Amino acid sequence: MQKVKTYTKDSLIERLEEIEEMGWVPNGRHGNHGGIGNTLEDLLGIEENNLPIPNAAEWELKSQRLNSTALCTLFHIEPSPRAIRFVPQVLLPKYGWSHQEAGKKYSENEMSFRQTIHGGTRSDRGFKVVIDRKDKKILISFDSSSVDPRHSEWLQSVNSRIGLGELDPQPYWGFDDLEHKAGTKLLNTFYVQANVKKEKGKEFYHYSSVMMLQKFSFDGFLKALEEGKILVDFDARTGHNHGTKFRMKQNCLPMLYEKATTII
């Protein structure tokens, strides 16, 4: 069995610089979507999601492809008040719409509530993230006047189900809860980005950008949410709630830390 390497911060930086100098390296896990991260772990000789730096604050290794539009999931957390089970009990039955696979893959009555929303602008169905710094809450808001005309039939159905006022109560996350969740998930991070190319059906990576991100900043988190860099992703259907996720646009991770040091 391969012995797991341990690193100091300095020796890890040195090894990442060596990997950058290797240029293009083949995907070590062919057919695996997580190829960038897994290949990097193989090159470092470490186990998945385990960055062994002894006598240091908790560290994480995050890797992403450069110039991708994919969103990175930060964590899952359902809104309060939890007892209501807001997504399956309110948003889905009162504000949902017919699932695109209703009557095909699922029953005729299958409903969907899928929205990816943020604090910048309202979605085409009128939903938005609102940050209330006074009461220390991140709220979900609905404004019927912001709904796109192509959803007018759906809006009429919302009116008949629950009316067109603001959500009442509004689902929310308290700052303290969210800061704790984010702070335990978004540890000090070595953030590695790779260029990707394909040759004869095989992927190759060049690990060309490395940043050392230290000390999670909740203020940075709130700012990213307000600017639409972090999004709240609801994904529920009648038969299953896939969970509520906080997700982030590529290249925005440094916003969430007090200190960002460019290594490569």
pLDDT (tens digit, 9 = 90+) per residue, 13-33? 999 999 999 999 999 876 666
Mean pLDDT across 51-61: 69
* pLDDT per position as a tens digit, 146-162: 999 999 999 999 999 99
pTM of the model as a whole: 0.85
pLDDT tens, 191-247? 999 999 999 888 999 999 999 999 999 999 999 999 999 999 999 999 789 999 999
Q: How far apart are CA 238 and CA 107, in angstroms?
A: 10
Query: How many other CB atoms sit within 10 Å of the CB of residue 147?
Result: 20
3-state helix, strand, coil in the chain (%, to 5): 30, 35, 40
Tokens of 18: 């060596």
Distance CA 42, CA 239 (A): 39
